[in-house]
Structure 1
Amino acid sequence: MSFAYSSIGLGLSIAKVAGGEHVRTSLTGVTVGVDVSGSEKVWRTFQAIGDIAFAYAYSTVLIEIQASIFPTLHLHTNICDTIKSSPPENKSMKRASSIGVSTTTLFYVLCGLIGYAAFGNDAPGNFLTGFGFYEPFWLIDFANICIAIHLIGAYQVFAQPLFGFVEGWSSRNWPNSKFITSEHAVDVPFYGIYYLNFFRLVWRTAYVIITAVVAMIFPFFNDFLGLIGAGSFWPLTVYFPIEMHIAQSKTPKYSFRWIWLKILSWVCLVVSLIAAAGSIQGLIQSLKTYKPFQTQE
């Protein structure tokens, strides 16, 4: 899905650039005094840092790579001992991570550069859903269908830890509640026996409805994206990996390597705080003029 809609966006951007339509571009983006004020330029820069931080959140990419490669490795290992053994999982993960991150980076950079060349300083936040393109309408619709399929699957994957936490916590606190703990066998045609839990059904349905309504009420895509990126970038992509590396490698405290790793961690913390400030400011400005249940760019 990612490859499909990214390729469509890139292809349409290249076609727009090749068509010779003149757009206003500059090395530093929007012009102070023409498009925005000096303070707005600074805040937008901070917001952009948050968007970049979200794109750089390797922890989310790692989950997808790990989920796809580990079952394959275990299946291959368990089929038969006489089959040539798989490479060690750490080597397979290193190779898969390198390929996955390199491919993702390539598409991000191309979308950013060619998208800016196509739309200039008026580039929408999302040139597929932000009315950057109108024709051919069937191709835009297909790309947006790919986005929907991708996000529906990603929503399921990333919601599972929260679902599991709430359901486990509820079972431990109310073990005698049949509504929470009982599993009801339902015979589904062409499937077999499916065990239905009413608490799981009600809780997960309510969660999906609430998140969908909140998303429609506050449709500030880029601002929320920057805020999420700012909140997840430092702890998940920088702090915890650095601390785990220091513990695993037993890096001596106050050694040259230890000092520079700590400096990197603190610098990235400052970047996250700046990005969060920019995104919050963007949300505040958007709330002043927004109308509920309408798309905002």
Structure 2
Amino acid sequence: MRYLFSTLFLALCASLNAQLPLPKYQRTYSASMTRGYYFQAPTSFVITGLQVPDEKKIGKQNVALYRMAKRPPAYSQSISVKPLFFAAGVDSAKVIPVLPPVIVQKGDWIGVLGACGDASRLYNSYGAPKAPSRVLGVPFTMYRLVMQANIVGNKGVGKVSSEDAYNVSRVRMYVRGQGAAYAYGKTSATTPELMPNDSFPPSIQFVGGMDLKPIVSGAKAAVLLIGKNRVSAPTPFGTLLVSLPPFAILFLPGPIPSTGVPIRFTLPNDPKLLGVRLDFQAAVVTTTAVLSTATEWIIGK
């Protein structure tokens, strides 16, 4: 495993709407039923967006957000719920804005269900059970939430249960003030992918991360460009997605396996970093250089 450590000292401010850490993707559960997670809020915060990771590239996502009166009972007991927010059939490449934003108070029981697919089939993104996470720097644990129905058909209205010992189903939850990472750029069969790592959103005093997947074999090395803005400019090596001149250039020694390598940055506990926006793109070297997709960070708590 390969790690990069860097201290970033910028004061470029931005609006913060960012995500809770999620467990690493393990597998996809394909069914007519919907999975997610629940937790008791350890502090007050505001939910601004939701997004289902689409590892199978299905293309459409569906989400339902709940505030529950109590902890959901273990399956096969259940409680009836109606979502605070519901959306279906949304492009899975986009973060779904939660409008109006949902204000969560400390002690609230919050649940979210989400999967890619449609009324005929759903694809749930599974991570490890009893997943540790944090919101605005305060730790908590995610537990599995289940609905034995397809939320596309019932618009999220139904009965939910808990299965604490089993896999959490991953839904990105964006919270005002939390660190966040966004993927952008068009993917293809030959374009290397620089993807956010949902377990390591960029938050001060924590490790932030992304993963570089060369896609093709024979990657000898890579260069990581760090810019301040997004662009889209065609070049002989692919589409340039970060502004020039770059704020920094980092060398990633090879060989780089086709399965990819992690890239990690330790962020200091410096409030001046809150709101900093950074854009990352890799140039992967094989017989020539090939530009990857890009990741944008907004550093938060």
Smaller-chain TM-score bracket = under 0.3
Query: What TM-score do you get using the length of structure 1 for normalisation?
Result: 0.20
- Ranked by relative contact order (alpha carbons within 8 Å, sequence separation 6 or more), the top structure is 1
Task: Identify, as 1 or 2, the structure richer in helix.
Answer: 1
Q: Which has the higher strand share?
A: 2
TM-score, normalised on structure 2?
0.20
